[in-house]
Amino acid sequence: MVTSYRNYIKSFVRIRDERTADFVDEVFYQGDLWPEGILQLNPAYEPGPTLDELARRGVLLPATAQFFRHSNRRPIPLCHQREAIEIARRWEPYVVTTGTGAGKSLTYLIPICDHILRRQPERKQVRAIIVYPMTALINSQYEALRAYPAIAPGCPLRFEKYTD
């Protein structure tokens, strides 16, 4: 594996000076650029109550629970998601920092959608703006968001994107 990667990297290196080329070759073959492999495990995030439980407690509307239950890969929100939802309901600021795939998007999407569903969701106007730092993230989130109304027929929520 290292040999294949080393050869791949070397295919980009073209050094005309013979002494410099020899030095770089030596560094490549000494393995200084290839650290030992490591295995890291992501911590398990503490599960929280189900979406239906949050709806029974009045934290979410039943419609919000239904909407996200069918669209979410994880049927049970994680503890940090529940905490963010509850903080958002109190109109307090919050920051969520977790690793990739820990459901950060739902920590703001669920409260935004629940807020809209509670307040005349049939009004056809901009109700929230989400700013993403990268176009790739915009596109992946947009595709996921566009699927929600199809998952929950009759849902008045609509999503659009604007990129420059």
For 75-117, write each residue's pLDDT tens digit.
567 888 889 999 999 999 988 888 777 888 888 889 998 999 9
| C-beta atoms surrounding 27 within 10 Å | 11
- CA angle at residue 127 from 123 to 131, to 5 degrees? 155
Domain check: are 17 and 57 in the same one?
A: no
Domain check: are 79 and 112 in the same one?
A: yes
Say if residue 58 is exposed, middle or buried (CB neighbours under 10 Å; 0-12, 13-18, 19+).
exposed
- Amino acid 64 reads T
**Is residue 159 a part of any domain in this protein?**
no
Domain check: are 107 and 137 in the same one?
A: yes
**Quick one: pLDDT at residue 151?**
63
**Is residue 157 a part of any domain in this protein?**
no
**Is residue 97 a part of any domain in this protein?**
yes
Domain check: are 139 and 58 in the same one?
A: yes
Domain check: are 16 and 83 in the same one?
A: no
- CA angle at residue 139 from 48 to 79, to 5 degrees? 10
Structural domains in the chain (count):
2
The one-digit pLDDT tens for each residue of the chain (164 residues) are: 567 777 787 788 888 999 998 998 888 788 777 767 776 666 677 888 888 899 999 999 998 888 887 655 555 678 888 899 999 999 999 888 887 778 888 888 899 989 999 998 888 888 888 888 778 778 888 887 777 666 666 778 888 888 76
pTM: 0.67
**Quick one: pLDDT at residue 90?**
93
Domain check: are 24 and 63 in the same one?
A: no
Per the listing, tokens 């669920």 go with 110
Domain check: are 11 and 57 in the same one?
A: no
Domain check: are 78 and 36 in the same one?
A: no
Domain check: are 18 and 75 in the same one?
A: no
**Is residue 143 a part of any domain in this protein?**
yes
Enumerate the β-bridge partners of residue 47: 78
The distance from CA 110 to its chain's CA centroid, rounded to whole angstroms, is: 13
**Quick one: pLDDT at residue 79?**
85
Query: Residue 119 sits in which domain range?
Result: 51-151
Domain check: are 71 and 125 in the same one?
A: yes
Domain check: are 12 and 36 in the same one?
A: yes
Report d(CA 96, CA 129) in Å as an integer.
Answer: 18
**Quick one: pLDDT at residue 164?**
63
Per the listing, tokens 């929520």 go with 157
